[in-house]
């Protein structure tokens, strides 16, 4: 029977990535602490996916709540066009300090899609400022997902998310994660190529597809050789998820542009940022006002988000969050050892991300195996898991205990075995 909250929700709310005609009612969450979600009936679930990969340190971390309250009592919001404030400046200073050395400027926004969109606009307009407006083609990986705004949609795999919007999307060259495939594209595009964009090491919504450090290094070298921008979409991979603070650092590469969000604020408030090189920033400086970067949102650089993000980033450094997430990933992976030799299962891991793919002739987000996984996940009474088609994954927050890792792994085994029977 539907709870009170579910009944009220069903009358007024429209949820993302949900087919309300056939999907079950959403879980009614009333509170959370650390890795635990509390439902309306008092039952609990371990948040094994960090609420769409954003909750970094755990839910309701006291240090972040205290900073939020203090900032809300001091300066809640002010426009960032023509004004500045301490949280935005301090956060930008620390981001530049810990980010790859190639990045020197921070442009704030409020979600990952927009952070990517800003990167695309900055890359192309930079070429326009340099007199090369013909560089209109972006290159992305097959099966990519970079967000839901129109530019970000153009970069992604159209099926199933964006196919109906294809008439509105600009052309993008998609390549396999190999140096040969990227080189071929660059040679064919010539001076039409604008930038290459990639989620370093792990393609999240693609089904946690993972590629090698060697490919990333080769891609960086090729972008330099052919004189185009390298854009790192670290919206999902950033803040320790793959073993280093940023995945680019795991590979030892330096992007020209980097988009960050999700874990930036520890999962508390909507905040994102696009970091760019000094050369790109300088392209927009001119005595002519029309050559400024005309992009902005009402809540750009919101003081609340910046203050919380600053403390979250400090916690990442103080508590060695990347290393802790690596340990958690190892614990979950080891607890899944019984699945490693199954002929219909492919397991993979990068840092704190552990994925199990059900081998099927028809994979992807709308795979039949995905329906089985999704239904089995909803039957769990101790863990929140949400598969990506025929891929089940875990990406727990840094506070997850060893016992909770075992519970997560047991739940994953239970779900997967229903799909491979």
CATH 3.40.50.970 fits 64-318, yes or no: no
Tell me if domain 4-57+320-420 and domain 64-318 are identical in fold.
no
Show Cβ contacts of residue 223 under 8 Å, excluding neighbours closer than 6 positions: 195, 196, 229, 230, 256
Show Cβ contacts of residue 82 under 8 Å, excluding neighbours closer than 6 positions: none
Whether the pLDDT of residue 346 is over 80: the answer is yes
pLDDT recorded at residue 247: 98
Domain segments of the chain as ranges:
4-57+320-420, 64-318
pLDDT recorded at residue 37: 98
* 96-118 tens-digit pLDDT: 999 999 999 999 999 999 999 99
Nearest to 52 by CA among 15, 13, 95, 77: 15
Which of the four pLDDT bands, split at 50, 70 and 90, describes residue 267?
very high
Whether the pLDDT of residue 365 is over 90: the answer is no
Show Cβ contacts of residue 415 under 8 Å, excluding neighbours closer than 6 positions: 373, 376, 377, 380, 385, 387, 392
Query: What b/e readout covers 322-350, taking b as 16+ CB neighbours within 10 angstroms?
Result: bebbbbbbebbbebbeebeeeeebebbbb
Show Cβ contacts of residue 251 under 8 Å, excluding neighbours closer than 6 positions: 200, 201, 213, 216, 217, 220
Whether the pLDDT of residue 159 is over 80: the answer is no
pLDDT recorded at residue 368: 85
401-409, long-range: CB within 8 Å, 24+ apart, which pairs?
A: 401/35, 402/331, 404/35, 404/46, 405/328, 405/331, 405/332, 405/335, 406/331, 406/335, 407/46, 407/382, 407/383, 408/46, 408/48, 408/332, 408/335, 408/383, 409/331, 409/332, 409/335, 409/336
Structure tokens at 246: 């940023």
CATH topology of domain 4-57+320-420: 3.90.1150
Q: Is the separation of the CB atoms in 155 and 137 below 8 Å?
A: no
Show Cβ contacts of residue 134 under 8 Å, excluding neighbours closer than 6 positions: 191, 192
Query: Against a cut of 0.95, is the pTM above it?
Result: yes
Place of tokens 């971390």: 61
Whether the pLDDT of residue 179 is over 90: the answer is yes
* 288-313 tens-digit pLDDT: 999 999 999 999 999 999 999 999 99
Whether the pLDDT of residue 414 is over 90: the answer is yes
Q: What is the mean pLDDT of residues 195-200?
A: 98
* 52-72 tens-digit pLDDT: 999 999 999 999 999 999 999
pLDDT recorded at residue 343: 94
pLDDT recorded at residue 40: 97
Looking at every residue in the chain, the average pLDDT score rounds to 96
pLDDT recorded at residue 210: 97
Q: What is the mean pLDDT of residues 80-85?
A: 98
């Amino acid at each position: 029977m539907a709870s009170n909250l579910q009944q009220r929700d069903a009358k007024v709310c429209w949820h993302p990535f949900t087919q309300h005609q056939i999907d079950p009612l959403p879980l009614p969450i009333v509170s959370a602490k650390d890795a635990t979600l509390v439902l309306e009936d008092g039952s609990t679930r371990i948040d094994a996916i960090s609420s769409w990969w954003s909750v970094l340190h755990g839910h309701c971390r006291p240090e972040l709540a205290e900073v939020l309250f203090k900032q809300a009592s001091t300066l809640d919001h002010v426009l960032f066009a023509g004004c500045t404030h301490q949280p935005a400046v301090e956060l930008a200073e620390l981001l530049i300090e810990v980010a790859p050395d190639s990045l020197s400027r921070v442009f704030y926004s409020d979600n990952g899609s927009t952070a990517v969109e800003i990167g695309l606009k900055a890359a192309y307009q930079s070429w326009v400022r340099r007199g090369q407006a013909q560089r209109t083609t972006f290159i992305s990986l097959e099966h990519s997902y970079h967000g839901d705004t129109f530019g970000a949609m153009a970069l992604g795999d159209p099926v199933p998310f964006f196919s109906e919007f294809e008439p509105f999307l600009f052309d993008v060259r998609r390549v396999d994660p190999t140096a040969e495939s990227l080189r071929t594209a660059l040679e064919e595009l010539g001076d039409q190529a604008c930038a290459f964009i990639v989620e370093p090491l792990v393609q999240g919504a693609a089904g946690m597809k993972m590629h090698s450090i060697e490919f990333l290094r080769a891609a960086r070298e090729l972008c330099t050789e052919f004189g185009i921008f390298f854009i790192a979409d670290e919206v999902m991979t950033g803040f320790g998820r793959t073993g280093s603070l940023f995945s680019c650092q795991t590979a030892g590469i330096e992007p020209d542009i980097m988009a960050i969000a999700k874990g930036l604020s520890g999962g508390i408030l909507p905040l994102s940022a696009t970091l760019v090189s000094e050369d790109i920033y300088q392209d927009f400086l001119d005595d002519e006002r029309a050559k400024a970067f005309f992009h902005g949102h009402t809540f750009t650089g919101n003081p609340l988000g910046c203050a919380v993000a600053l403390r979250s980033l400090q916690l990442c450094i103080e508590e060695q969050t990347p290393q802790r997430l690596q340990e958690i990933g190892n614990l979950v992976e080891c607890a899944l050892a019984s699945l490693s030799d199954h002929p219909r299962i492919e397991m993979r891991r990068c840092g704190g991300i552990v994925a199990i793919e059900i081998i099927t002739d028809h994979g992807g987000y709308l795979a039949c195996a995905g329906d089985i996984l999704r239904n089995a996940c909803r039957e769990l009474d101790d863990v929140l898991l949400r598969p990506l088609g025929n891929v089940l994954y875990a990406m727990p927050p840094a506070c997850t205990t060893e016992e909770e890792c075992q519970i997560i792994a047991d739940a994953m085994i239970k779900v997967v075995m229903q799909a491979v029977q």
